[in-house]
Chain A
Amino acid sequence: MERGIGSSGAFAWFFQRISGIFLLLALLAHFWVLHYSNDGEVTFQIVAQRLSHPLWKTIDLAFLFLAIFHGFNGFIMVIHDYVRWKNVRLVLVSLVWVAGILLGLLGMITIITFQVPGGGL
C-alpha cells in the first residue's frame, strides 16, 4: 500500500475545480461571442481577425491550457480509480502526460502563429 510521502492529489483536485469554473464561463462567453456578436454573422474572415488579436490569442491560450489540464487530469483520476497494477498505471499516466503536452504544444503553435491570410488586422 503506497501511502504518504510525495503522493498527494490536493492540487489536482483543487485546480480541477478552478479550471472547471473557468471553462464553464469561457464556454458561455465563447458561445455568446461566436453566435451573438456581429449580429450572429459567422464567417471565416470575422473569426480569423478575432484570432489574430493578441488579447484573443491570450484568452484562447488560457482556454487551451485549462481545457487540456481539465480533460487530461480527469483521465488521470480515472486511471488512479480503476487501474490497480502499478506498472500499467505508470504507463497509462505517462501516455496521458505525453498526449497532453503534445496537444498543448500543437494548440499553442497554432494559436501563436495564426495570422489572417492575405493581411493583418
Chain B
Amino acid sequence: MKKTYRIFRFDSAKPKQKHYDTFKVETAKGETVLDVLIEIKAHHDGSLVFRRSCRHGICGSCAMQINGLNMLACETQVEMLKDNTITVDPLPGFKPIRDLAVDMDPFYEKLHSILPFLINPDSPPTDKERLQSEEDHRKIELATSCILCGGCTSSCPSFWADKDYLGPAALLKAYRYVFDTRDVGLNERLPMLDNKHGLWRCHTIMNCNDACPKHIFPTEDISHLKRKVVEEKY
C-alpha cells in the first residue's frame, strides 16, 4: 500500500522556513506511522527529527498529530487511516524544536509542581508494602496507566489559550495521588490545584478524552478533583 506523507519540517534556528516535505512510502499490512517515519529517515531524508523509544505504546515518546488528531505514531497502523495523503505534525500547543520534536520541559515542570509522588508521613509497616484494597485501587487504576505522552494536554483548548494552565496530564496525575487512599498530601497540592491556572481552567471540553492513547478519561477525573477541592475548602 503506497501512500503520500506530508511531514512538518521546522528548525528553531530558521523559524521562518517551516514547511511540509512530501514523501511517497510503501508499507505492508500492520506497519505503523512510526515505521514510515523510520523508513523516511533511513532511506529518504536522514535529517528528519522525531522522538521514539519503545515502539510499543508504553514510553509515550512518539506522540504527534496525525491527520489532525493527537496519536502515538507507534500505535497508529497506516491501514487504519483511510486517506491516501497522511499529514504528520508535531503536538500542537508546545514549542517546536525541530521537525516533529517539541519542547516538553514546561509539561514536566507542571507535572512536578503537583508533587507527583505518595505523600504520607507515617512509616510503612516493617518489611511490607503499603497495602490497598482492590476496591480502593480501582478508583485510580485507569489514572495510573498514564504514559505521559502529552497528547491530552496538547489537545486542550484551555492549554492553547493559557500556557500556564496545568493541563489534563498534570491534573490527572494529581487525581491519581489525591484519590489514592494511602496519600494524605491534598493540602500540600492545594495551592497548585486551586489556582487561576489550575483546576478551574478546565471547562470539560473533553478533547483530552479523545486524545488519550490509553483510553483514560482525564475530564472525568478532573471533575472529581474539582469537587474534592470544593469539599475541602467549604
Other-chain contact of A4, B191, B200, B226, B229 (Cβ < 8 Å)? B191
Q: Would B162 and A81 count as touching, CB distance under 8 A?
A: yes
Return B196 CB to nearest CB of chain A, in Å.
Answer: 5
A81 to B159, CA, bound (A): 9
A9 touching B230 in the complex, CB below 8 Å, given contacts A1-B164, A80-B201, A81-B161: no
A2 touching B200 in the complex, CB below 8 Å, given contacts A13-B230, A14-B230, A81-B161: no
* Interface hits, A26-78 → B, CB 8 Å: 77
Return A2 CB to nearest CB of chain B, in Å.
Answer: 7
Q: Would B164 and A10 count as touching, CB distance under 8 A?
A: no
Chain A residues with CB under 8 A of B230: 10, 13-14
Name the CB-closest residue of A to B193: A10
A14 to B234, CA, bound (A): 10
Q: Is B92 an interface residue (CB 8 A)?
A: no
Q: Is B47 an interface residue (CB 8 A)?
A: no
Q: Is B90 an interface residue (CB 8 A)?
A: no
Tell me if B's interface is mostly helix, strand, loop or mixed: helix
Q: Would B196 and A13 count as touching, CB distance under 8 A?
A: no
Q: Would A7 and B196 count as touching, CB distance under 8 A?
A: yes
Chain B residues with CB under 8 A of A12: 200
A2 to B195, CA, bound (A): 9
Size class of the contact patch on chain B? 20 to 34
A9 touching B199 in the complex, CB below 8 Å, given contacts A3-B192, A14-B230, A14-B234: yes
Return A3 CB to nearest CB of chain B, in Å.
Answer: 5
Name the CB-closest residue of B to A13: B200
Q: Would A8 and B161 count as touching, CB distance under 8 A?
A: no
Q: Would A82 and B161 count as touching, CB distance under 8 A?
A: yes
Chain A residues with CB under 8 A of B113: 3
Chain A residues with CB under 8 A of B201: 80-81
Chain A residues with CB under 8 A of B192: 3-4
Q: Would A80 and B191 count as touching, CB distance under 8 A?
A: no
Chain B residues with CB under 8 A of A9: 194-196, 198-200
Q: Is A24 an interface residue (CB 8 A)?
A: no
A77 to B199, CA, bound (A): 12
Q: Would A5 and B196 count as touching, CB distance under 8 A?
A: no
- What are 6 contact pairs spanning A and B, CB under 8 A? A1-B164, A2-B197, A3-B113, A7-B195, A8-B195, A80-B196
Chain B residues at the A interface, C-beta cutoff of 8 Å:
113, 158, 161-164, 191-192, 194-201, 203, 226, 229-230, 233-234
Chain A residues at the B interface, C-beta cutoff of 8 Å:
1-5, 7-14, 77, 80-82, 84
Q: Which 8 pairs, one residue from A and one from B, show the smallest C-beta to C-beta distance?
A: A9-B200, A4-B191, A14-B230, A13-B200, A7-B196, A8-B194, A1-B164, A82-B161
